[in-house]
A and B are shown apart, each in its own frame.
Chain A
Amino acid sequence: MKLLVILVNRLAWLIPTVFGLMAITFAITHIIPADPVAAVIGENASPEQVAALKEKLGLDKPLVEQFVIYLTGLLRGDFGISLYTQRPISEDLFARVPATIELSVVTLFVAIAAGIPVGVISAVHRNSLLDHALRIFTVSGLAIASFWLAILFQLFFSMYLGWTPLQGRVDGWGPDPITGFFIVDALIIGDFEMLGDVLAHMVLPVLTMAYPAMATIVRFTRAGVLEAISSNFVMYESAMGFPRRVIIWKYVLRSALIGTVTQIGLIFGILIANSVVVETVFDWPGIGRYAVDSILNSDYNGVMGFAVFTGVIFILINALVDILHGLIDPRETR
């Protein structure tokens, strides 16, 4: 019952948050001294042609009116027309969503699968040599810039060792789009050669994005475990002779995860931010690169579409995290 309250509460917050997000993005994109019309029409157009295009795109109206027009369109699910390609934003953007989601989900999975055990081990062997080594490793994950790491990975694994593809999502066209997720599509049609190729292409971008995400998970898991391990229930369970591994990996970890799960929502934000950089370096056809292209082409609507879409996803993920949080910690919901 309380879970439903949490959910409704979160979804209600979606409205003002997205509104604020749009207002800020709209203001920034329209105030910067860039001219999308010039980018589209070229230098040799006559003033009449420029005026005509401005009118067609609605750029001749006052800013506030433009914003209202944009908002009303959005309510109907219309993200507007790309100023650059002249195609609906929703078509361009949504065609790229699966590539980014696939990358993010695999990255998150890798980051969690590596980060939680490392965090627990680090805490259990606190202040040992192992702990110090793991901490240097994880702090580096937070400190190293993604684009630099990405290029380093490319140089070493692709150029020098030749183990992985340099960039792209797949060699050739990829599987016929059924869901748009190449791993899923390759599995559906049973083409395991294709699956291998898709996975090989994912290795470097996933590693690049998973490293900082994992670092965050390690830090919060370690802190959570250290706090939980000094609880009275750990002393009690030790006194009653529960196996050490059950105490640590079941009871302590479950308590520690309460803090870690909260972080996963924020990590998703890091992943989206990093996707912009990582997708550009690895030539990954996702929404991150779409955002970069839109910025370079002064395509307001493209940038807005990216910001609104990722904003909504981010808020939904955090609503999901709150629910997960409630499921892990019964004190929240009962």
Chain B
Amino acid sequence: MTGDTLLRVSDLKVSFQTEAGSAKVLDGVNLTIGRGEILGLVGESGCGKSTLARSVLGILPKNAARITDGTILFDGENLLERNEAYLARVLRGRRISFVPQDPFSSFSPVFSIGDQFMELMKWKSPEITDAQAAARTILSSRYGRARRRRDAERVMEMLSAVQLPQPEAILRKYPHEVSGGQRQRLMIAMALLTEPELIIADEPTTALDVTIQAQILKLLKALAAERNVAVLFTTHDLGTAWEICDRIMVMYAGQDVEVAGSADFFARPNHPYTDRLLASLPGAEGGLQGIPGNIPGFVSPPGGCRFHPRCDLASDACRTTRPGVTALGSGHAVRCHHPLGTQFLKEAVT
């Protein structure tokens, strides 16, 4: 970990109101991202990755979701203490931007792509200062011709940066007239256009063909590195995480279980869940191993470490108390009462 932390989520607890009762979807999650760092947030579908991403953006469904505990420090300020208007005007789209999972439906189908780019620039152009953004009123939100022209130039530059051919033609088109890969390039362009410090990319390649996934990932990584933008990248695909992330964090059923630098993560997994997750990848030996059991429900989840019903090493301590963070050096940390450590390595060798 570098000393310059951009985002620090501490002990975040989020519940959803359901008919069956209160679902504890996030159970004391910690997360940090340094400036310019790409953090992969890995876990199975429904483990709380998207909820965590939306908590940071402040766009959890208002009626159903409640943040019951924790802090989200972005550049030193606790976002949970900020009001909605400030978050919408100053943070979202400007300092923190978003790449959605589904580029097919994330554009409005009835406005041209160019219109939607210029709408973004109207409200979120990097020329607007924080103070101007915060003080925005209906009257002061006029879009002057000079700024519009400069913003249009920014759009054109960005479209060539994301390697879209014939940018003018694309801007005149409607979303249904371009391919999925192109749409995701457009989404990345929009996320970068406002010159944010953090991009939250929620499974940005899941909806795309495998061949296009790799191109999009490479592009996102290169552009983020070039501009020193941090990325919180959620995925259920370890291979994808391996390709672009500096560090990887694993979540299981609403709990963070392990975090490590990418190389370290694959070489030295310490949490039994991480271990099983890696073992479930199709290996060179051709073995495919699932993890016995199912993800627990969130309304009455298992106490302590939520993985214990599926864990071979589970002890009484695992059933009652959530393990604290054990630092293993060089940014590698695990939350487990029985980390595999070197013992695992020996087993793997034999």
A residues within 8 Å of B by Cβ?
A: 231-233, 235-244, 246, 251, 254-255, 258, 328-331, 334
A241-B88, A241-B92 given; A232·B106 CB < 8 A:
yes
Residues on the A chain within 8 Å of B266, using CB? none
Of A231, A238, A254, A328, the contact of B59 (CB 8 Å cutoff): A238
Given contacts A235-B100, A255-B108, A243 and B59 within 8 Å (CB-CB): no
Cα–Cα distance between A178 and B268 once the two chains are bound (Å): 90
Contacts of A246 in B (CB 8 A): 119, 123
B65, chain A: closest CB distance, angstroms: 13
Tell yes or no: B109 within 8 A of A by CB: yes
B51 at the interface (CB under 8 A from A): no
B92 near A233 with CB under 8 A, answer: no
B97 within 8 A of A: yes
**B190 interface hit (Cβ, 8 Å):** yes
Footprint of A on B, CB under 8 Å? Answer: 54, 57, 59, 87-89, 91-94, 97-98, 100, 102, 105-112, 119-120, 123-124, 136, 141, 174, 176-177, 190, 200
Would you call A331 and B123 a contact (CB within 8 A)?
no
Q: Distance (Å) between the CB of B171 and the closest chain A CB?
A: 14
CB nearest neighbor in B for A331: B176
Residue of A whose beta carbon sits closest to that of B112 = A330
Q: Could you say which of A235, A236, A255, A331 has the most chain B C-beta atoms within 10 Å of its C-beta?
A: A236
Add 9 more A-B contacts to A240-B92, A240-B93, A242-B120 (CB < 8 A): A233-B105, A233-B108, A236-B106, A237-B108, A241-B123, A244-B88, A331-B176, A334-B174, A334-B177
Q: Is the CB of A331 within 8 A of B59?
A: no
B100 x A254 contact (CB < 8 A): no
A242 contact set on B, CB distance < 8 A: 93, 119-120, 123
Whether A241 touches B124, Cβ cut-off 8 Å, given contacts A232-B105, A334-B174, A334-B177, is yes
Task: Find B100's partner among A239, A241, A330, A331 (CB 8 Å cutoff).
Answer: A239
Q: How far is the CA of A236 from the CA of B112 in the complex (A)?
A: 16
In the docked arrangement, what's the CA distance between A243 and B124, Å? 10
Query: Which residue of A236, A237, A241, A334 is within 8 Å of B94 (Cβ)?
Result: A241
CA A25 – CA B111 in complex, angstroms?
45
B119 A254 Cβ-Cβ under 8 A: no
Give the distance in Å from the alpha carbon of A236 to the alpha carbon of B200 in the complex: 12
Could you tell me if A328 and B177 are in contact, using CB atoms closer than 8 angstroms? no
Residues of B within 8 A of A232 (CB): 100, 102, 105-106
Bound: A251/B110 CA distance, A: 8
Most A CB contacts (10 A, CB to CB) among B89, B93, B136 go to B93
Q: Which residues of B contact A255 (CB under 8 A)?
A: 108-110
Residue of A with least CB distance to B90:
A241
Tell me which residues across on chain B come within 8 A of A254, comparing CB atoms: 108, 110-111
- A240 engages B110 (CB within 8 Å): no
Known: A251-B108, A254-B110, A328-B110. A239 touches B57 (CB 8 A): yes
A240-B120 contact in complex given A232-B102, A334-B174, C-beta closer than 8 Å: yes
Tell whether, in the assembled complex, residue A235 and residue B59 are in contact, meaning their CB atoms are under 8 Å apart.
yes
CA of A197 to CA of B316 in the docked complex: distance in angstroms?
88
- Complex: A241 Cα to B59 Cα, angstroms: 10
Residues of A within 8 A of B100 (CB): 232, 235-236, 239
Partner of A239, one of B59, B141, B174: B59
Residue of B nearest to A242 (CB): B123
In chain A, what residue has the closest Cβ to B105? A232
Query: With A243-B123, A254-B111 given, is the CB distance from A330 to B105 under 8 Å?
Result: no
Residue of A nearest to B110 (CB): A254
A236 touches B176 (CB 8 A): no
Query: Which residues of chain B are near A235, meaning CB under 8 Å?
Result: 59, 100, 106
Q: Please, how many angstroms separate the alpha-carbon atoms of A241 and B89 in the complex?
A: 6
Residues in A with CB closer than 8 Å to B102 are 232
A244 to B93, CA, bound (A): 13
Bound CA–CA A254/B174 (angstroms):
14
Instruction: Show 26 residue pairs from A and B whose CB-CB distance is below 8 angstroms, ordered by the A residue.
Output: A231-B108, A232-B100, A232-B102, A232-B106, A233-B106, A233-B107, A235-B100, A236-B107, A239-B54, A239-B57, A239-B100, A239-B200, A240-B190, A241-B88, A242-B93, A242-B120, A244-B88, A246-B123, A251-B111, A255-B110, A329-B109, A329-B110, A330-B110, A331-B110, A331-B174, A331-B176
B105 x A239 contact (CB < 8 A): no
Given A254-B111, A331-B176: A240 touches B105 (CB 8 Å cut-off): no
| A241–B105 CB distance below 8 A | no
Contact partners of B177 in chain A: CB under 8 A: 334
| Measured CA separation A280–B120 after assembly (Å) | 54
Kindly report which residue of chain B lies nearest to residue A127, judged by CB atoms.
B63
Contacts of A243 in B (CB 8 A): 88-89, 123, 136, 141
B176 — which chain A residues lie within 8 A by C-beta? Answer: 330-331
Find out whether the CB atom of A240 lies under 8 angstroms from the CB atom of B111.
no
Distance to closest chain B CB from A275 (angstroms): 33
**CB pair A239 B92 closer than 8 Å:** yes
Nearest chain-A residue to B136 (Cβ)? A243
The answer for the CA separation of A246 and B89 in the assembled complex, in Å, is 13
* A-chain residues with CB within 8 Å of residue B174 when the two chains form the complex: 330-331, 334
Q: 10 nearest interchain CB pairs?
A: A241-B92, A241-B93, A240-B93, A232-B105, A239-B98, A236-B106, A330-B174, A241-B88, A233-B108, A251-B108
